[in-house]
């Protein structure tokens, strides 16, 4: 008998009134519809992400020009641009945004003065990377990993602690008298890109000067950029005006 043929009993209803061929056909059609739906969602999501990156690129054109013309950024090199106005961090390569991460910069705004607890603006580099291999939520004190691992708070709660978690990328200012030198030195101010316990506050200004990231995001960024990577923290004048 041909393996694709059906006996009369298979074609007709079984003892419980169940038509197997119709059920199989319905199941295959449903599975196909689900698969098409999943693919469609991925296409829409990819298109939305591409549009978002293109839109964000308009805001950082001047910053990219600055990094290229003044600091020798080559197209094949990764760079980072932080937009405090949008609370976003962009990873750049070949003059394109390849990743967008939400962040929290200082709740006191942008500024470079020592003791201001503001996020410094201008060009920096990643001077040191600290914490490779640490578990998510691992707490660092004075850049040393402790035995403490905190639970990540997903709700928008401001705790009494400013806990540094998971990874640290310690920034060094590159612009004398702006973010480098006496009274304004970002490295001496201990300005980091780092993980935070307070993930529920990511996307709004909440730090004491550093750039906070979600813990999974800071691990991903840490693994994707080397020490020496240029980091531009925008002041408002470096944001491209929208048309």
Using alpha carbons, select from 125, 144, 151 the residue that is nearest to residue 225.
125
Q: Is 79 contained in some domain?
A: yes
Q: Is 12 contained in some domain?
A: no
- 219: exposed, middle or buried (Cβ count in 10 Å: 0-12, 13-18, 19+): buried
Asked if residues 139 and 97 have their Cβ atoms less than 8 Å apart, the reply is no
Six token digits for residue 232: 């531009």
Q: Is 43 contained in some domain?
A: no
Q: Is 35 contained in some domain?
A: no
- The per-type count for the chain, helices as H runs and strands as E runs, is 4, 10
Q: Is 119 contained in some domain?
A: yes
Q: What are residue 231's DSSP bridge partners?
A: 80, 124
Q: Is 31 contained in some domain?
A: no
Q: Is 134 contained in some domain?
A: yes
Backbone torsions φ then ψ of 41, nearest 5 degrees: -65, -40
Q: Is 7 contained in some domain?
A: no
pTM reported for the whole predicted model: 0.80
Q: What is the DSSP string of the chain?
A: --TT---HHHHS--TTS--HHHHHHHHHHHHHHHHHHHHHHHHHHHHHHHHHHHHHHHHSHHHHHHHHHHH---TTS-EEEEETTTTEEEEEETTEEEEEEEEE-BTT-B--STTS--BPPEEEEEEEEE-TTPPTTEEEETTEEEEEEPPP--SS---S---EEEEEEEEEE-SBTTTBSTTT-TTTTT-EEEEES-GGGTTS--BSSSEEE-HHHHHHHHHHS-TT-EEEE--GGGSPPP-
The four Cα atoms 236, 238, 239, 241 give a dihedral, to 10 degrees, of 100
Give the residue numbers spanning the domain of 212: 60-238
Which pLDDT tens digits describe the chain residue by residue (243 residues)? 334 444 444 444 454 555 666 655 666 666 665 566 656 666 667 778 899 999 999 999 999 999 999 999 999 999 999 999 999 999 999 999 999 999 999 999 999 999 999 999 999 999 999 999 999 999 999 999 999 999 999 999 999 899 999 999 999 999 999 999 999 999 999 999 999 999 999 999 999 999 999 999 999 999 999 999 999 999 965 544 433
- Which CATH number covers residue 124? 2.40.440.10
Q: What are residue 89's DSSP bridge partners?
A: 82, 101
Q: What span, in angstroms and rounded, lies between the C-alpha atoms of 140 and 193?
A: 13
Per the structure, the count of domains in the chain is: 1
């Amino acid at each position: 008998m041909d393996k694709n043929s059906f006996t009369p009993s298979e074609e007709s209803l079984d003892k419980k009134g169940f038509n197997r061929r119709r059920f199989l056909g319905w199941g295959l059609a449903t599975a196909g519809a689900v698969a098409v739906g999943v693919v469609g969602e991925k296409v829409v999501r990819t298109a939305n992400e591409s549009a978002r990156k293109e839109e964000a690129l308009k805001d950082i054109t001047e910053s990219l020009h600055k990094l290229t013309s003044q600091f020798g950024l080559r197209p094949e090199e990764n760079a980072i641009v932080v937009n405090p106005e949008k609370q976003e961090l962009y990873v750049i390569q070949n003059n394109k945004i390849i990743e967008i991460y939400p962040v929290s910069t200082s709740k006191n705004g942008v500024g470079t003065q020592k003791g201001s607890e503001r996020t410094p603006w201008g060009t920096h580099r990643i001077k040191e990377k600290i914490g490779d291999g640490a578990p998510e939520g691992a707490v660092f004190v004075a850049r040393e990993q402790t035995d403490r691992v905190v639970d990540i708070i997903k709700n928008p709660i401001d705790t009494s602690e400013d806990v540094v978690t998971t990874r640290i990328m310690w920034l060094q200012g590159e612009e004398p008298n702006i973010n480098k030198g006496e009274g304004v030195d970002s490295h001496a101010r201990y300005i980091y890109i780092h993980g935070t316990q307070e993930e529920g506050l990511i996307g709004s200004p909440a730090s004491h000067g550093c750039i906070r990231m979600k813990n999974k995001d800071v691990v991903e960024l840490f693994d994707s950029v080397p020490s020496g990577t240029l980091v531009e923290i925008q002041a408002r004048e470096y944001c491209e005006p929208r048309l």
